[in-house]
Amino acid sequence: MLKGKKIILGISGGIAAYKAAILIRLFKKAGAEVKVVVTSNALEFITRVTLESLSENKVYDKVFGEQNDYTTEHVALTDWGDAFVVAPATANIIGKLASGIADDALSTSLLAFNKKVFIAPAMNCKMWEHFAVQKNVDHLTANGIHIIEPTEGFLACGYEGRGRMEEPERIFNAVKESFHSKQSTLKGKNVLITAGPTREAIDPVRYIGNHSSGKMGYALAEELADRGARVHLVSGPVNLTVVHKNIALTKVTSADEMLEACKKHFDDCDAAIMAAAVADYRPDAFATKKIKKGGSAKDLKLHLVPTPDILAHLGKQKENRVLVGFALETDNETDNAIKKLTSKNLDFIVLNSLSEQGAGFGHNTNKITIINNKQEVSRYHLKDKREVAADIADTLEKYLNR
């Protein structure tokens, strides 16, 4: 899959830079070509000789320099690469990329690169958790940059927590997987996907909602679109953007609107994947004016009525379409997921648990179990949501190609 692919490896100044050497070896062994761009700090942690020997190419560390063939080398380099991997990525390089700053060879090359970018952060846990870093990571994710989440463990600074760079093998696999998805195995298929939360209005100001970020549904849409499927994505309110020639996006707010959008596109689809966290209840009446506090009654009681169950509705008209649901459970996970699978007439259900570290709402990673209608159970380990999307897509392909 990686044979002949051209990988630009960016290394910034963190202790995990030594692991970049292993990453180069993995890419080279898989038949890829590697060119390395470093920050000047990175060269404090790993030598130019090591990187040049392993990559069999010169290392770039200056925008202007004698080593460069000509001064727009960063553009020539980025035209050359098929994928750009930054490992380790410090808070500094993440911040620069998120804000469009180009003041050295690595940040300049990153800004000149418009193909797939993988960022493997590595830093102290307090830095990783800092709102500024988290905001930058969210901004990058929302713009299609692939974040390979750091893991928990012993950090070089003596702390224990999240901030260790993901292992080189896992970074390598994420990059490899992204090339796999380029094959048009789903060409000619139409897939309907729902994503994100719904909001059920109480009055013009307030609503009932949930913590769904939409990341899983959007990752799925991109994965299937990369495999050649035409995707219709029906999304609740999220902070994500999607730009893909195979994805048509309909934005909705409430469960009722989501149902209407799904009904419109269900007839034409070969498969439907409901990844949205649809609110189960909505206020029975919408107050046209903002509800004031301090009225005659002390307490405010909301009377809630059920929203339409979109998936159950589609399940009744399924015919030979493949129907996939999601289940987020906090207890009796497998039993509850199987109940949903049966009652909603699904082909398979993707179960994710809130009790797993790094899984569920808002995270860039997820840990899933897939249960099919023969009640066969496949468990997967914690992965980046894009890799999880690839696992789900692999399962879907089996059903679509039956």
Q: Which of 255, 9, 223, 40 is nearest to 110 (CA)?
A: 9
* 8 A C-beta contact, residue 46 and residue 91: no
Q: How far is the CB of 258 from ligand C5P (least distance, A)?
A: 7
> Which residues, other chains included, contact 183 with Cβ-Cβ below 8 Å and sequence gap of 6+?
227, 228
Q: Report how far apart the first and last C-alpha atoms of the chain are (Å, whole number).
A: 25
Residue 84's SS3 state is strand
Residue 389 as a binder of ligand C5P (CB under 6 A): the answer is no
Report the residue number, 45 or 399, with the smaller CB distance to ligand C5P: 399
Report the residue number, 55 or 212, with the smaller CB distance to ligand C5P: 212
Residue 119's SS3 state is strand
* 8 A C-beta contact, residue 219 and residue 204: no
Report the residue number, 7 or 269, with the smaller CB distance to ligand C5P: 269
How far apart CA 98 and CA 139 sit, in angstroms, is: 7
> What residues does 383 pair with on adjacent strands?
366
- Interface with ligand C5P by CB under 6 A: which range of 69-77, 94-102, 144-152, 306-314? 306-314
Q: Quick one: which of 274, 322, 359, 393 contacts ligand C5P (CB under 6 A)?
A: 274
The yes-or-no answer on residue 157 being catalytic is yes
Residue 255 as a binder of ligand C5P (CB under 6 A): the answer is yes
Residue 165 as a binder of ligand C5P (CB under 6 A): the answer is no
How far apart CA 392 and CA 378 sit, in angstroms, is: 11
Residue 272 as a binder of ligand C5P (CB under 6 A): the answer is no
Binding mask 178-207 for ligand C5P (x = CB under 6 A): ----------------x-------------
Residue 280 as a binder of ligand C5P (CB under 6 A): the answer is yes
Residue 310 as a binder of ligand C5P (CB under 6 A): the answer is yes
Q: Which of positions 122-141 make contact with ligand C5P (CB under 6 A)?
A: none
* 8 A C-beta contact, residue 71 and residue 104: no
Residue type, 57: N
Number of H helices, E strands in the chain: 14, 22
Residue 370 as a binder of ligand C5P (CB under 6 A): the answer is no
Q: How far is the CB of 253 from ligand C5P (least distance, A)?
A: 14
Strand order in the sheet with 6-11: 59-60, 33-38, 6-11, 83-89, 116-121, 146-147
Q: Quick one: which of 26, 119, 186, 276 contacts ligand C5P (CB under 6 A)?
A: 276
Residue 235 as a binder of ligand C5P (CB under 6 A): the answer is no
Residue 311 as a binder of ligand C5P (CB under 6 A): the answer is yes
* Site of interaction with ligand C5P (CB under 6 A): 194, 255, 274, 276, 278, 280, 307-311, 325-327, 340
Provide the annotated active-site residues.
157
